[in-house]
Amino acid sequence: MKGLVRVTTTASSLPLTMTTPFGDATNTNVVASAEPVPVPPSRSPEAPKLKTADLPDVDEPWQQLAQNTDVHMSDAQEDFAPEGLFDHVQGFPSDDVPDRPMVSPLAPMTTLREEYVNGSQGFVRQIDWLMNEGWIGVRRTRGDGDCFYRSLAFAYIENILNSSDTMLAATGALSVLEASQQQLEQVGFQRMVFEDFYDCMAGLINQVINPVDGRLLDINSLLEAFNNPEVSNSIVVYLRLLTSAEIKTNPDYAGFLFHPETGDQMDPEMFCNNFVEAVGKEADHVQMNALATALKVNVNVAYLDGHDQQGKVSFVPFQNAPFTFLEPVNLLYRPGHYDILDRRDVDPIPPLLV
């Protein structure tokens, strides 16, 4: 994969050379020392693999529960009828820990800063740097191991909703999503198993331009949907299946599939069964690049690790849509968790969560 290199690094030394624009933000450079493996130019670079075991943990009491609860979609499609599997998504680990919404309204970045002010000053400096660069808001997601997929999905649909041309943005996204079903079938997923999950995501995007019960999608109804376990978890499942299909159908990933704990190389089938399709398993750089590629969306990930003495935050880009007019999805990574990064600190309409 172009620029995809196997490296061992710490979070304070990110291993890729890139310069990326983030809206009005100052470009952020990431410097590399590894030799890239030549592959077709359509693929974006790999994000660095961080040694999160050496970093402070995110204080999410439900993370251990999520890590101990695996639901494999490849196994589930054999064990459940489609309607049973659809009901099964409501039993995700996150349902047992209602302390935080699955996706929260936008909040000022100062609320995150307050959590670290009496602790890690490295994190405080980096949060201050983000705010000085214009990133004044954060949308928190539940730390259940599915936070990357849920965060990306929400931010992606919200970007469509906020697009200057919602008709073009929504129809383009629906076209990509429609084509993805064939990719899932190519690796053996049955349409009758995944079509309900697909319908949940496609239905929300379609509601941007076509009213449902007389109502177009807005930030209120988007938050409502993503805090409905049936809808939210169905979207997570579909994105996990799509990520798995992208990894299995693209041979360029094969050399970069390693067990996150032992470092042993894994074949695509085993890797996807255990670390992609398994609900509650965190996403690493391979999964992030694969999903961004499959959805044809640009993603920027800000790594908040507390290591930089000057407080600078490194952004790692996954550029997979060079001709899109949609804003990139901007995510905030803390060890073991993803939230959504924003230049606003409040939603345009007071949210209504149900």
**What pLDDT, on the 0 to 100 scale, is given for residue 348?**
87
SS3 22: strand
Q: Which residues of the chain have pLDDT under 50?
A: 2-71, 74-97, 350-351, 353-354
Tell me if 90 sits within 8 A of 229, measured CB to CB: yes
Q: Please tell me the predicted confidence (pLDDT) of residue 246.
A: 97
The bridge status of strand 329-334 relative to strand 299-303 is parallel
Looking at 250-337, list the stretches that DSSP marks H as alpha helix, in order from N- to C-terminal side: 268-275, 285-295
pLDDT value at residue 100: 86
Cβ(73)–Cβ(237) below 8 Å:
yes
pLDDT of residue 3: 40
What SS3 class is residue 139? strand
For residue 90, the model assigns a pLDDT of 42
Residue 35 confidence (pLDDT): 38
Query: What does the pLDDT read at residue 318?
Result: 94
| pLDDT given at position 175 | 96
Q: What global pTM score does this model have?
A: 0.76
Q: How many residues does the chain have?
A: 354
pLDDT number for residue 72: 53
Helix (H, G, I), strand (E, B) or coil at 129: helix
